[in-house]
Chains A and B, each alone.
Chain A
Amino acid sequence: MEEQKLLQVDDLRVEFRTDEGIVRAVNGVSFDLAAGETLGIVGESGSGKSVTNLAMLGLIPQPPGRISSGTALYRGEDLLTANAKRLSQIRGRHIAMIFQDPMTALNPFLTVEEQLTEVTRLHLGHSHDEAIAHAIKMLEQVGITGAEKRVFDYPHQFSGGMRQRVMIALALSCNPDILIADEPSTALDVTIQAQILDLMKQLQKDHGTAIIMITHDLGVVANICHRVLVMYGGKIVERADVDSLFANPRHPYTLGLLESVPRWDADLSKKLKVVPGQPPDLAHLPAGCSFYPRCSYREVRCEQSVPPAFERPEGGDFACFIDVDSVKPVEERT
């Protein structure tokens, strides 16, 4: 039997009932996560990358949301059918999450000490003094100087980068198995972003935490991730280890995404390649491949049938009928 993965998600589907019809935010997503690895989930707004993770933690408001199928096994236990009490034991203790905007994720009325000690007293049964000592230790670990004083400050007394460090300290204070980071560095300046990514890598080395890194920034993926899922229209369109994904993208969307990012080491004589068109309307997904209307490599069959997952030679898979290496894009066909 295959070794049990830390997290195994199978055929997850999430939909939202709206005035414009049923919005299919996640459409049959399956992936797994091994202990100690960093899995990147890349996609644009509306690709379903955040909803996938919120659904696993029971954070989708139902209604209007609905998890219509799937399992999400954490150490063999299905998170999607776990009751609220069990979920709140897991959240924060075994699976923790950090968000894009640390100011809205921290409670502005409570000091950092109150927020950090609440978690450890609840989950680890720390006494008051133990909890405070632990909170100070965590702040020191994430590089906050003068932690024994700063721990009594309120969130607004910290800068953006420091607040994100507090969030990370909060998320890691029970030494979870999995850290879900939803765009953790997007709101930060580049020099601060570099500090936060380095900090996450260091903490992963020290604690062996598995990280799910949700981001739209391919630079962040290249910096921190081991494996990558590319999502489009609520589906995984390509999965591979980070090196082969960047070196040898197989799905036209991955290819388009990689080519359309301005790089500061790129050849400037060429114009930026674009992915034409607009992201899909999740309330009215096309019958076939959801990338079909924007795809440069499309064929007739792509409009009618949904492409299954094909294996990549170096591991991983991609959901596309076309071999992008042997077919010319539409613009170059004569």
Chain B
Amino acid sequence: MSPVATSVSSSTSLNTSLTHPLLEVRNLSVHFPFRRGGLLNAQRGFIRAVDGVSFQVAEGETLGIVGESGCGKSTTARAIVKLVRPTAGEVYLQGERIDHLSDLEMLPHRQNLQMIFQDPFASLNPRMTIGNIITEPMNIFKLYERTQRKLEAMRLMDLVGLNPRFLNRYPHEFSGGQRQRIGIARALAVQPRLIICDEPVSALDVSIQAQVINLLMELQEKLGLAYVFIAHDLAVVRHIAHRVGVMYLGRLVETAPKSALYTNPRHPYTKALLSAAPIPDPVAERERQRIELQGEVPSPEKIYAGCSFADRCPIAEASCRETLPVLQGGAHKVACFKADS
């Protein structure tokens, strides 16, 4: 297994990285079936957690994906790394299709594709030492000489700002921010090209958030990593991302380079989201005009013929409810019939 693993990954990264985007997601959908009613007359339906999402990520780039809870941003992340099975659509890593692979076939690709999770308390095995947590991926991919692995783990700990002396300590001895650093070191252990970060700072205290954001940005500079950065906090994403995608009810409604999205948002949902996020400045807060959205995000089991945002949209017309708007445009794409250009 191991010779295959190493040869496949090295050859793909050499041949295809110049012609293909690092990650390409085409029409990705994840639908979860659910049953309602009693055993005998159970009605089956689907929750459309992710519905036809497409995007690309280039080498060394950070794509931020923002949206509110239930918009499908985490499910998108989990579908890319195959923690959930996509219902439809394709995922390409360095030009190779990976979404239909078996776990064994997927293994070599995992060396290039790693993930950091939201909860630093749940994502580290409490019975393993930090050293073992960080060297485990190296063992799996047979990286480095066995004796070198511990040294490499210590180098990584130093890189992410942990004292290498703590190699033999257990996760419970560390604070949330330090644990998130351990998770980052574990992801880096196999020298990936792309790290999917699912809300990596939202469980951390404010003063610790900035430490982890800066660390991720420094690592990107040093190692040329690409990130898919999932978050609900627009200000955090603005700091770290190069491009941003906004999701609503399983669909991407707007994607744009960061500067365009924050200075000139075009989708009414993006505008509302930006205007709702509180600014830590009392003077600015008082002067702001808020776009108030009516109601809450509807249940994703509801099926819309037209735009799923129309019910809450301040500018929707009757026609918006009949036809589904497609995400279109050049660098700044928007899925809205009435978006200002």
Q: Nearest B residue to A219 by beta-carbon distance?
A: B278
Say whether A222 contacts B206, CB under 8 Å: no
Complex CA gap A162/B281 in Å reads: 28
B327 at the A interface (CB under 8 A): no
Contact of A263 among B213, B272, B276, B279 (CB under 8 A): B279
Say whether B282 contacts A264, CB under 8 Å: no
Contact of B235 among A45, A189, A222, A264 (CB under 8 A): A264
Contact with B along A209-224 (1 / 0, CB 8 A): 0000000111111110
Complex CA gap A273/B68 in Å reads: 27
Say whether A257 contacts B206, CB under 8 Å: yes
A286 at the B interface (CB under 8 A): no
Contact of B282 among A217, A246, A257 (CB under 8 A): A246
Say whether A275 contacts B210, CB under 8 Å: yes
Contact with B along A24-54 (1 / 0, CB 8 A): 0000000000000000000011000000000
Given A222-B280, A223-B278, A278-B177, decide whether A190 and B68 contact each other with a Cβ distance below 8 A. Answer: yes
Chain B contacts with A in 278-305, Cβ cutoff 8 A: 278-285, 290, 292-293, 296-297
Complex CA gap A67/B16 in Å reads: 66
A-side interface size class: 35 or more
Interfacial chain A residues near B143, Cβ < 8 Å: none
Say whether A263 contacts B235, CB under 8 Å: yes
Q: Nearest A residue to B238 by beta-carbon distance?
A: A264
Say whether B206 contacts A218, CB under 8 Å: yes
Contact of B285 among A217, A223, A264, A275 (CB under 8 A): A223
Say whether A217 contacts B278, CB under 8 Å: yes
Interfacial chain A residues near B176, Cβ < 8 Å: 45
Interfacial chain A residues near B87, Cβ < 8 Å: none
Given A190-B276, A262-B235, A279-B205, decide whether A274 and B293 contact each other with a Cβ distance below 8 A. Answer: no
Chain A contacts with B in 186-219, Cβ cutoff 8 A: 189-195, 197-198, 216-219
Secondary structure type dominating chain A contacts: helix
Q: Nearest B residue to A159 by beta-carbon distance?
A: B296
Number of interface residues of B (CB under 8 A): 42
Say whether A189 contacts B213, CB under 8 Å: no
Contact of B277 among A190, A221, A242, A268 (CB under 8 A): A190
Interfacial chain A residues near B283, Cβ < 8 Å: 243, 246-247
Say whether A191 contacts B272, CB under 8 Å: yes
Interfacial chain A residues near B213, Cβ < 8 Å: 262, 272
Contact with B along A242-279 (1 / 0, CB 8 A): 11001100000000111011111110100111111011
Complex CA gap A246/B214 in Å reads: 23
Contact of A44 among B207, B217, B293, B296 (CB under 8 A): B207
Say whether A260 contacts B210, CB under 8 Å: yes
Interfacial chain B residues near A256, Cβ < 8 Å: 207
B233 at the A interface (CB under 8 A): yes
Complex CA gap A221/B206 in Å reads: 14
Say whether B280 contacts A194, CB under 8 Å: no
Say whether A189 contacts B69, CB under 8 Å: yes
Say whether A222 contacts B285, CB under 8 Å: yes
Complex CA gap A192/B312 in Å reads: 13
B262 at the A interface (CB under 8 A): yes
Q: Nearest B residue to A192 by beta-carbon distance?
A: B296
Say whether A264 contacts B274, CB under 8 Å: yes
Chosen A-B contacts, 19 in total, with CB atoms closer than 8 Å, are: A45-B176, A45-B205, A189-B69, A190-B68, A190-B232, A191-B68, A193-B276, A219-B285, A246-B283, A256-B207, A257-B207, A258-B280, A262-B233, A265-B281, A266-B238, A268-B239, A275-B210, A279-B175, A279-B208
Given contacts A161-B296, A189-B297, 6 further A-B contacts (CB under 8 A): A216-B206, A260-B210, A261-B210, A262-B213, A263-B235, A271-B214
